[in-house]
Amino acid sequence: MPPRPPPDPPEVPSVLSSPNEDRAVRIVTRRERGALVLAVSGDLDIDSVGPLGQALASAVDDGAGPVVVELSGVGFADSTMVNVLLQGHTALGGRMRLAAPSPFMRRLIDMIGLDSALPVLPSVDDAIDAVLPS
C-alpha cells in the first residue's frame, strides 16, 4: 500500500460534501483572522446534514478555536440542522457564531428564535469580530 499523502495545509480550503449529490450540500472550510469559517451551501435535512456535523465535530476535536458558520448558501434546513448547530455551539463552549444567513435561514432563525441561543451576525467579518477574544 503506498504511503498516504500529507494533509492539506490549514490555509488551503477543504470541502466536505454529502454523498447524496442531489441535495448538493457543501461545506468549504477556511481560516480567516484566527477563526475557522465553515461556508455551508445546499439543502440540509436529516439525510444530508452529516457533513456539517462532521465539520463541527472536527473543529471541536482539533481545538480549532472560534468557529463561524456562514449560511448564505443554505436553501433549506430542518430541525436536524438547527440541532446540529446548537450542539456545535455547546461543544465549542459558545465560541461559534452564525453569519450571513440566506433569506430562508433568516426566516427560520426569526421564526424559531434561534438567535436567542446562538448569535447571528450579518456578515462573516462581523461574526469573526464577535467571536474573537477582545
The total number of residues written for the chain in this structure: 134
Q: How do the domains of the chain map onto residue ranges?
A: 14-131
Q: How far apart are CA 132 and CA 134, in angstroms?
A: 6
**Whole-prediction pTM:** 0.84
Give the Å distances, CA to CA, from 75 to 24, 41, 89, 93, 102: 10, 7, 21, 28, 7
Q: What is the mean pLDDT of each run of 10 residues along the chain (134 residues)?
A: 50 50 81 96 95 96 93 97 98 97 98 97 98 86
**CATH second-level architecture of 14-131?**
2-Layer Sandwich (3.30)
